[in-house]
């Protein structure tokens, strides 16, 4: 049987980008066992024939996502390892079609792989970004960067704005690549709607959110872009820890030095 990717070069390229990022997450040590998940809105790449594809399985959603009605997503599978998503994405992920009411989805390709158990959380974020914030967000990427998680075990960094300001100050590129800073969500049980709702509150003003003692989540228009944001923040965390290991508290860039980047790179003001 032909794959849904057959004769669809844009979709094939999108799935290849997802596989590339999944490989990076594994190589960085940010995706232990089946840790992390990715969802990407692929509606723009779907052909008219996709609406006629029979469902492998239909699943009711616990909420209605009206902004996502009739949209299509690639979602990594529940219990699937990122290293296998990297090598064989269509065997370790699902293409789903949200129904016209936004309250159920069909798995339409390529196999009956159940999407991540955090799918309702992902969809709630996609729904918020498109329906409320009116942004063309296509990607939600969640992973477990070791150095960034370590910072959330340090109480001083849990206060609003503190962690993001410190990470900005380690290297100019962090302010440039992550211009909206980092939101912080206090510890909550993974996979719950409580965690999702707390994350949505932070997405009102941030594109990257840290979950205390758990992981990091980034949203954006491109899956490579979301990885780049997290990767850049990780570089800043490493600089901070290297300085601490050398026996001193890193000075960081001053407010004036950070503010000087704003007009040059067209960054939003705080």
In sequence order, what DSSP letters do the residues of 27-64 get, joined into one string? Answer: HTT---TT--EEEEE-GGG--GGGGGPPPSEEEE-SS-
Measured CA distances, 208 to 160, 163, 185, 263, 265 (Å)? 13, 12, 11, 22, 19
Residues 111 and 153 in one domain: no
Pair 167, 205 in one domain: yes
pLDDT at 110: 87
Residue 42 lies in a domain: yes
pLDDT at 133 (0 to 100): 95
Same domain for 162 and 100, yes or no, is no
User: Of 97, 117, 137, which residue constitutes the final position of a domain?
Assistant: 117
Tell me if 11 is assigned to some domain: yes
Mean pLDDT over each residue of the chain, to the nearest integer: 96
Look-up: residue for tokens 């699902």? Answer: 94
Q: Are 37 and 76 in contact (CB under 8 A)?
A: yes
In this prediction, residue 3 carries a pLDDT of 84
Domain that holds residue 243: 145-263
Are both 61 and 1 inside the same structural domain? yes
- Is 172 within the bounds of a domain? yes
* Domain edge (last residue) among 66, 97, 117: 117
- On whether residue 66 sits in a domain, the answer given is yes
**Same domain, residue pair 96 and 155:** no
Domain shared by 171 and 107, yes or no: no
In a domain, 24, yes or no: yes
155 with 105, same domain: the answer is no
pLDDT in tens, 188-213: 999 899 999 999 999 999 999 999 99
Asked if the structure places residue 201 within a domain, the reply is: yes
Determine which helix (DSSP H) or strand (DSSP E) holds 20, and give its type and residue range.
helix 9-27
**CA–CA dist 116, 39 (Å, integer):** 9
Q: Look at residue 11 in the predicted model and tell me its pLDDT.
A: 96
How sure is the predictor about 217, in pLDDT bands with cuts at 50, 70 and 90? very high
| The pLDDT of residue 1 is above 60 | no
- Give tens-digit pLDDT for 42-80: 999 999 888 899 999 999 999 999 999 999 999 999 999
**Predicted local distance difference test score (pLDDT) of residue 269:** 85
Domain total in the chain = 2
Determine the Cα angle at 173 with ends 86 and 211, to 5°.
Answer: 55
- Does residue 150 share a domain with residue 112? no
Catalytic residues: 118
Question: Which domain CATH number covers 42?
Answer: 3.40.225.10
pTM for this structure? 0.96
Name the burial class of residue 267, with classes exposed (0-12), middle (13-18) and buried (19+) by CB atoms within 10 angstroms of its CB: middle
Query: Are 259 and 189 members of one domain?
Result: yes
* Pairing state between β 215-220 and 139-143: antiparallel
Query: Is 252 among the domain residues?
Result: yes
Q: Are residues 109 and 3 part of one domain?
A: yes
Residue 134 lies in a domain: no
pLDDT bracket for residue 2 (50, 70, 90): confident
Domain match, 93 and 2 both: yes
Q: State the sign of the Cα–Cα–Cα–Cα dihedral 59, 65, 68, 74.
A: negative
Euclidean distance between CA atoms 122 and 114, whole angstroms: 14
Q: What is the pLDDT of residues 126-157, one digit of tens each?
A: 999 999 999 999 999 999 999 999 999 999 99
Statement to judge: residues 158 and 108 lie in one domain? no
**Count of other CB atoms within 10 angstroms of residue 9:** 9
């Amino acid at each position: 049987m032909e794959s849904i990717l057959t004769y669809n070069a844009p979709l094939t390229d999108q799935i290849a980008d997802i596989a590339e990022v999944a490989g990076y997450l594994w190589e960085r040590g940010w995706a232990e066992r089946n840790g992390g998940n990715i969802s990407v809105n692929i509606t723009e790449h779907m052909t008219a024939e996709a609406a006629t594809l029979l469902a492998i399985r239909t699943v009711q959603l616990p909420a209605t996502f009206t902004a996502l009605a009739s949209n299509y997503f690639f979602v990594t599978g529940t219990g699937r390892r990122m290293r296998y998503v990297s090598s064989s994405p269509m065997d370790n992920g699902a293409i789903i079609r949200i129904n016209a009411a936004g309250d159920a989805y069909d798995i339409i390709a390529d196999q009956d792989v159940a999407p991540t158990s955090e799918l309702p959380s992902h969809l709630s974020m996609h729904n918020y970004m498109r329906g409320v914030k009116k942004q063309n967000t296509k990607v939600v990427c969640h992973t477990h960067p070791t150095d960034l998680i370590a910072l959330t075990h340090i109480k001083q960094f849990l206060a609003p704005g503190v962690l993001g300001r410190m990470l900005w100050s380690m290297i100019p590129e962090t302010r440039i690549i992550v211009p909206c800073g980092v939101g912080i969500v206090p510890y909550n049980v993974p996979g719950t709607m409580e965690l999702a709702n707390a994350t949505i509150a932070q997405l009102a003003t941030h594109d990257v959110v840290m979950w205390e003692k758990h992981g990091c989540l980034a949203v954006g228009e491109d899956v490579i872009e979301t990885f780049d944001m997290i990767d850049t923040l990780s570089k800043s965390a490493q600089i901070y820890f290297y300085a601490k290991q050398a026996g001193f508290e890193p000075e960081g860039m001053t407010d004036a030095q950070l503010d000087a980047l704003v007009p040059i790179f067209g960054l939003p003001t705080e």
